[in-house]
Structure 1
């Protein structure tokens, strides 16, 4: 798929303007520039999407109980559960995201609160029936075990990288990393002191087709500053256009997104 003498493209991560994704600075910058946590590139997917699998699992466990979204962003994902739950609470540290979520809600049983998901959570013991994070905090599981009823379900959904065309065709712009394994996330989350039981991890594979060469760059630079994006476009767009046009299918450029889906029970 790749050529033997393939050109190494400009690496945005080495630029001084690069901000580590999902850091507090990155979230602040993302809100100031676009006002929400929403992917800006254009693409289509083979169904089911990984987030649909997560949503179906949450719904299957909810049974009209209380639900907590840890790191809810602007709340769009959590809103879909309001009609199936007794109560939905979303928490996030970005004040603007919380304001957007509360403006969008149409029912009274859902609320968005400014709370750091990695800190002590201000909820009573055994309050929620289900709690989850979608690409959010990683240090909340001990608190999750406290605030979710014994036997209740806790889920974690984390991006595990995009592979295939991006890393093979655009070296430098996208760095090479090993294909993830299902249990990789367990080492990162350090769950042995969380108190959770019945811990299981699935590796979800999602097929996405990027629509244009620009979408290759937009995906890489999601949440980065306008200044850095201008540099990346100047350095990379011509090369990316040539590669994209050579390898894209009628659907677009095929890539594979991987996600870790953790499920566990509170004790």
Structure 2
């Protein structure tokens, strides 16, 4: 039986579009992955988090694309002050329920600019947030301040279209070039990008479906389960190890100085 292409469903939304983020906020009120997996260490996300914690100590910090603010709150334990900025109303609302005295949240769209005065921040980070913010940070971060970014790599999950044809499609994303272009137009004093590869083990066939349909209407997940769970389970078991189904977990870490 041919696996369904979930993007053909009438309820499918383009991932990471404004409508998609709004729906995810309504569904979860958090930007939090819904599938179960284990990621080998070291990995790009852990390395990024460690670097951020190092550079923000005692500083006034901007978190661009903060989601529901879980990492923002953690940073508040090290930083003098942290402001989380995100486009999704429901994420910001969740963050405001968690905030501490030195952490606050602002709703907005980086494509329309950043609502902060010049030289407001000592440093900034973008943890899987919008690349459109890079050219704007030179104005709001002080001269000599650091900017650190984390973005999913183009090879993330590259095995999935081969294991589950039609369910997954070969990615045409070129995030690396996009980030390079953003950095070039930002005119930072120094920039570098590190490509960090590790392995993510998906725990079950249901987790494959949840990964593919992250942020989508639950009716799409239920349709895939009803139509294809037996075949997805068969393909999962054929390719899994004792740790789960291994796929590439790639992250780009951006380091820049104003």
TM-score (norm 2): 0.92
Question: Is the 8 Å Cα contact of residues 165 and 253 (structure 1) preserved in structure 2?
Answer: no
Instruction: Give the whole-Å Cα distance in 2 for the aligned partners of 1:177 and 1:72.
Output: 25
Instruction: Give the whole-Å Cα distance in 2 for the aligned partners of 1:116 and 1:159.
Output: 20
CA RMSD of aligned residues (A): 2.0
Is residue 126 from structure 1 mapped to residue 119 from structure 2 by the alignment?
Answer: yes
Instruction: Give the whole-Å Cα distance in 1 for the aligned partners of 2:247 and 2:148.
Output: 25
Instruction: Give the whole-Å Cα distance in 2 for the aligned partners of 1:178 and 1:33.
Output: 27
Is residue 154 from structure 1 mapped to residue 166 from structure 2 by the alignment?
Answer: no
Residue 12 (structure 1) shift: 1.2
Q: Which of the residues 69, 77, 80 maps onto 2:71?
A: 77
Question: Is the 8 Å Cα contact of residues 135 and 182 (structure 2) preserved in structure 1?
Answer: no
Residue 192 (structure 1) shift: 2.9
Is residue 96 from structure 1 mapped to residue 96 from structure 2 by the alignment?
Answer: no
Question: Is the 8 Å Cα contact of residues 124 and 148 (structure 2) preserved in structure 1?
Answer: yes
Deviations 1:65-121 (A, max 9, x none): 11111111100111111121110010112222112112112x311111112222221
Q: Which of the residues 224, 227, 240 maps onto 1:235?
A: 227
Alignment correspondent of 1:21? 15
Residue 179 (structure 1) shift: 10
Alignment correspondent of 1:114? 107
Is residue 57 from structure 1 mapped to residue 51 from structure 2 by the alignment?
Answer: yes
User: After the TM superposition, which of the residue ranges 231-240 and 172-181 deviates more from structure 2?
Assistant: 172-181
Question: Is the 8 Å Cα contact of residues 132 and 154 (structure 1) preserved in structure 2?
Answer: yes
Residue 168 (structure 1) shift: 2.3
Q: Which of the residues 113, 116, 136 maps onto 1:143?
A: 136
Question: Is the 8 Å Cα contact of residues 131 and 179 (structure 2) preserved in structure 1?
Answer: no
Alignment correspondent of 1:87? 81
Larger relative strand fraction: 1
Is residue 196 from structure 1 mapped to residue 188 from structure 2 by the alignment?
Answer: yes
Is residue 172 from structure 1 mapped to residue 170 from structure 2 by the alignment?
Answer: no
Unaligned runs of 5+ in 2: none
Question: Is the 8 Å Cα contact of residues 129 and 149 (structure 1) preserved in structure 2?
Answer: yes
* Runs of 4+ off more than 6 Å: 178-181
Is residue 33 from structure 1 mapped to residue 42 from structure 2 by the alignment?
Answer: no
Residue 197 (structure 1) shift: 2.4
Q: Secondary structure at the match of 1:139?
A: helix
Question: Is the 8 Å Cα contact of residues 58 and 130 (structure 1) preserved in structure 2?
Answer: no
Question: Is the 8 Å Cα contact of residues 118 and 138 (structure 1) preserved in structure 2?
Answer: no
Q: Secondary structure at the match of 1:146?
A: helix
Q: Which of the residues 244, 247, 252 maps onto 1:252?
A: 244
Q: How many residues align?
A: 257
Residue 15 (structure 1) shift: 2.5
Deviations 1:202-239 (A, max 9, x none): 11113111111110000000000022222222332111
Question: Is the 8 Å Cα contact of residues 85 and 107 (structure 2) preserved in structure 1?
Answer: yes
Q: 1:226 to 1:256 in 2, by over 3 A?
A: same
Q: Secondary structure at the match of 1:142?
A: helix
Alignment correspondent of 2:37? 43
Q: Secondary structure at the match of 1:151?
A: coil
